Each structure stands twice: as structure tokens, then as C-alpha cells.
A and B are shown apart, each in its own frame.
Chain A
Amino acid sequence: MPPSVWNILDFEKPIAELDEQIAEIKRLTQEQGQDRSEDIAALERDRDRLIQEIFSNLTAWDRVLLARHPKRPYTLDYARLIFDDYVELHGDRLFSDDKAMVGGIAVLDGQPVVFIGQQKGRDLKDRQYRNFGSAKPEGYRKALRLMRLAEKFRRPVICLVDTPAADCSVEAEERGISESIARNLMEMSRLETPIIAAILGEGGSGGAIGIAVADRVLMLENSIYSVIPPEGCAAILWGDPTRHKEMAEALKITSAEALKLGVIDEVIPEPLGGAHRNVEQTAKNLKAAIIRHLNELNKLPIDELTDKRYAKFRAMGEFEDLSLAEAQDAAASG
């Protein structure tokens, strides 16, 4: 099996077969000099119809697989396409430089910004180098240091989120992984500059929200945002990690569900077949959405901006007040 096959999800296989056919005809066209453009166009139409059909019936678990797709574009793939003049800055000034959390200064549509994001690795070596996108305390502290820099110069912060979870190793615990995330939550809630967060792939629990307390939270269509991975949750609650598909459904982790629950502000559409089939188009969509939100936020006085950010997260959650219900019952019966 060539490695490329491992990078294809089961439900993508019929699409990949058509892709191969198209590529083969294109190759023959070049070799033989025949014009087969009509055949190609027909096959491409078939393929696009097929993709549309498959993608209109995706399950929650399919979305998990897409969010973790080995070919899915990662943070720096987007950063290269979205920002100009990116200058990476390193280190938390306390302990080390976390390779799973990248960041620096950049220009977005003519506007200087601070960019922060979690970075996963592509091949085995790179994955280890990036610690699979799981940041340690020094990563969250580096992120906070860069946010302070942004605040000082009143530059907006753009956070690109893509992490399975924060690192939970012994060393992360020794250096206070909980404290580093908690501090970011508090400081981001009152940071005096606009913040936009976009979830690109995996929005994994505390690791994700540790850089996602933002004025606007966006999600790419096939990304997920979850308090726990479905496999882990199925193991813990149902004692059966093989029920991950069912759990993915129950946890409501897709972008559409997050929007319905009021946890995010906008779903950014991905091109046909998912972000990995057209990075440039995905980046274009993402960039346009970030700029649109930023232009709105830039108009707000800082006090109003931070008040609104507080109110936004303050309102999240669903519950009932029995004392109110009782009072109403009493009033009705009285």
C-alpha cells in the first residue's frame, strides 16, 4: 500500500478513485496530445456530484476524522496564506520555547496583528517535534506573553486553534499546566484589544479554550470543538471506547452544533470535499471572515469591547431556576 492510501478516509475512497481516473486521462492527454477535455470535464462533474452527495450525509464521527485528517492544512499552512510579513517570536521568558504553540507578529490586510496558534506536525519526526499539537505550560505562557504585547501596542490578536488537548505529562503538571490555562482564560477575558479565535481542526477541550476566549470565535466547517475526545468519553461514561461514533453524535461537537449552542459566532465554509482539497480557497474564506469581524471589532471602544466579551461567555450554559418556577407556580395558584 503506498502511503498516499493511508491518507484517504474510507468515505473518501470513491472520490479518490475518480481523482485517479481524471489524473490518468490528463497524463495520457499530455503523452498522446489528444484533446480529452470533454471526458475530463464530465468526470469532474461526476466527482463533484459524488463529493456533494457524500458530504451532505456526513456523521459527527466523519467530521472528527476530517478534523484529524492527515492531509488537513495546519495552522502555519493558513498563516502563510493569510498574513504578510510574519515574524515568528519565541519563548515564554520563563522556561523554554514550546514548539506546539507558535506565534509572532504579522500583517493582516494592511493591519499589524499578533498571531498565535497551535501547530501539529506532518510526518512522524515533525509530529514529535510539535508534540502532536499539545502545548505545555510554556506554550500557554508564551501565548499570554504575546497577547500582552498585542495589548500594549493595541494590536488585535488572531488565535488559530488546532490541538487534540493540552499536554498532560508529568512535566506539564510539574510546571502548572492548569494554572497556565486558567490564567489565560482570566487574562483573555479582560485583554484590552480585540481577539478573534478560529478553530481549524481539533478544538480539544482546555487546550483549545486556553487560547480561545475571544470576541469572536469562528470554526471551519469540518472542525470539531469538544470538552473530551469521543473515544475517551465513551470509555469513561459507557466503559466502551468502541462506541466513539455514537458518542461523537451525543457530544454535539460539530461546527453546526456549536453554532446552535451559541458557543461560536460563525461557521466558515470549506471547499467541496474539505479544506485539504483546496487550502487556498479555505484560507481565502477564513481570511475574509477574520477581516470582516475585525473591522466590526475595531469600531468598538475598548471598554465596550471587553464588556461584550465578558457578557458573551457569561451567558454560556443552560439551566433552570426552580425558585423562579416555584414563585411563578405560587403566584399562579394564589
Chain B
Amino acid sequence: MAAKWFRGKSARKVARQSVDALPDGLWTKCPECNEILFNKELEKNLRVCNKCGYHYRLTAWERLQITVDDGTFQEINAGLASVNPLGFPEYEEKLAGDRQKTGLQDPMVTGTAEISGIPIVIGVADFSFRGASMGSVYGEKVARAFELATDQKLPVIMFTASGGARMQEGILSLMQMAKTAAAVGKHDRARLPYIVVFTNPTTAGVHASFASLGDFILAEPGALIGFAGARVAKQAGLIHRPDNFQTSEFQLEHGQIDRIVPRREMKSTLVKLLQFCTGEGIKDAA
């Protein structure tokens, strides 16, 4: 009973970054089931609660570490940085704060890497930078990643996350939807594979552009996925909604994604999809 109640309640929470670290830093309380978790165990379990399966958010670097072959990631376009095109109040200060907090210039980290020896272009969004909102840099990095992949005939894997558009960049942030979708279109026309993994949360402008255009769309369990960002939905007064509204499970049920894949099985699943598309590394007939 208790577990069910928590699931219904927590499924709608988006911005829950509270790790609830206990004072000594050795233990963490699971925000889903309240289980007290030993931090070292949690790390070993890829930051997934071993009792209820709650998937903690990962930083871009944590995600890359558990996804690509050791030492193969080479970042591209790391120097791209946001400006304040509209002269929007307090935008620079907010950017500066997030840069200091995360060590990133933008939520979107892109580069080349290998997965099980298969060369890929990969992008990972980090929610801790401006809620992974998509502004000009995010859009530019995604577009450049697809253009590089098209040019070098490589698959693309995108681990998406986003609270929505970078409102402080106004209409320019909206245009990133068109820009990224167009870049996917060129890669698609070149018959190259594109795999998307929705991580918590993938919403709004990102969800309604390049993120929904994968040949394969996977999702981590319990992620918030949807068109209207949580705060926009609240603004729109969307009240009558099912308990699992806008979760990975809801999207699977309604035919919007291919599979929900637990973190522990993610890499092996990606490898199978890449092998299917590229024909590389497939086992010989017994």
C-alpha cells in the first residue's frame, strides 16, 4: 500500500533534486521509498535504489562513464557558451551561478565515443545546469553533433533531459526546435541510426523536437516525459490527469516509446540496437 501511494505522489514531481544526504555523507535516503541507502552501494548500483528501483539523476559525466567504453569519449564544441541575446534581466548571473555549480558551459555535453567498440556521436543533457533548458548553445551543439555524425557516417545516441525552452533567450530558444529537428532530418536521410534515451525529465521544446525523432526511443523507468512542462501544465490548469500522467510508463502504454530500460541494462540494449543498424559485432551463427 505504502509503496503504491508514494509512486502516485512522486510520479508527478519534476524538480526533485533533493538528494536528502544525511549528515555524515555516507548515507542517502531514497526519495521514492525512504529506504536509507549506503552511498557506496548506491554508486555501485549505478545510482538506482536497490529496494524500489528509483533512478537518481546523473550528471553528464556520470552518464558517460557508465555508458561509453572507458577512455573513448572526446568532447566536441565544449567552448560554446551562452550570451544574453535579449538582454534579459539576471540571465548572466544565473548562467554564472550554474557554470560555477556544475563546471559546465551548457547542459548539453556532446562528443565522439565508442560503445562496445562501435564508434558513435553522443549527447548527454545535464539537468543541473538551468534545468537542462534548451537555448542557442544546446540547440547548436545538438545540430553540430548530428552534422558531424552525418559527415562521418556515425550513429547518434542522445540522452535527453530538459525542463523546456531557455525562456531567457525568448524566440531564439523556440527556433532551436526547428534547427535540431532539421539536423536530425539530414542524418535520417543518410540512413544513419539515431537512438534516443529519455531521462528524467524530458519535456516541452526538447520533447517536441529532436528528442521525439529517434529510430529507437528508450526511457529510464519513472522519468517524467511530456509536452507541457510541469509548470506550464500547472499554469494551464491541467488537473484531471491519471496518476502516472507523463511518466515513462504512461508513454509506453500509449505507444509513444519503444521500451523502458533500467539503467543496468541500458548499455547492453544500446549495443544490440547499434549492432542491428550497423551490422557490427553480431555473434556468428552457432
Binding site for B on A (CB under 8 A): 166, 168-170, 172-179, 181-183, 185-187, 189-190, 205-206, 209-210, 213, 225-228, 231-233, 235-237, 250-253, 257-258, 261, 263, 310, 313-314, 316-326
Contact = CB atoms under 8 A, between A and B. Distances in A.
A258 B85 CA distance: 12
Contacts of A181: 177, 208-209, 227
Contact of B232 (A209, A228, A314, A323): A228
Interface residues of B, number: 67
Contacts, number: 195
Central interface residue in B105, B175, B227, by most chain A CB within 10 Å = B227
B182 A206 contact: no
B202 to A, nearest CB: 9
B165 A166 contact: no
A108 B200 CA distance: 47
27 contacts: A168-B238, A173-B250, A176-B254, A176-B255, A177-B227, A181-B177, A183-B213, A186-B185, A189-B178, A206-B174, A209-B175, A213-B182, A227-B165, A227-B171, A228-B232, A232-B232, A233-B167, A261-B172, A310-B186, A313-B182, A314-B183, A316-B172, A319-B81, A319-B82, A319-B136, A320-B83, A323-B79
A173 B203 CA distance: 11
Contacts of B149: none
B83 A225 contact: no
B136 A317 contact: yes
Interface in B206-221: 207-213
Contacts of B211: 178, 182
Contact of B105 (A176, A190, A322): A322
B254 to A, nearest CB: 5
Interface in B228-286: 228, 231-233, 235-236, 238, 240-242, 245-246, 250, 254-256
B246 A187 contact: no
Given A168-B236, A182-B213, A319 B140 contact: yes
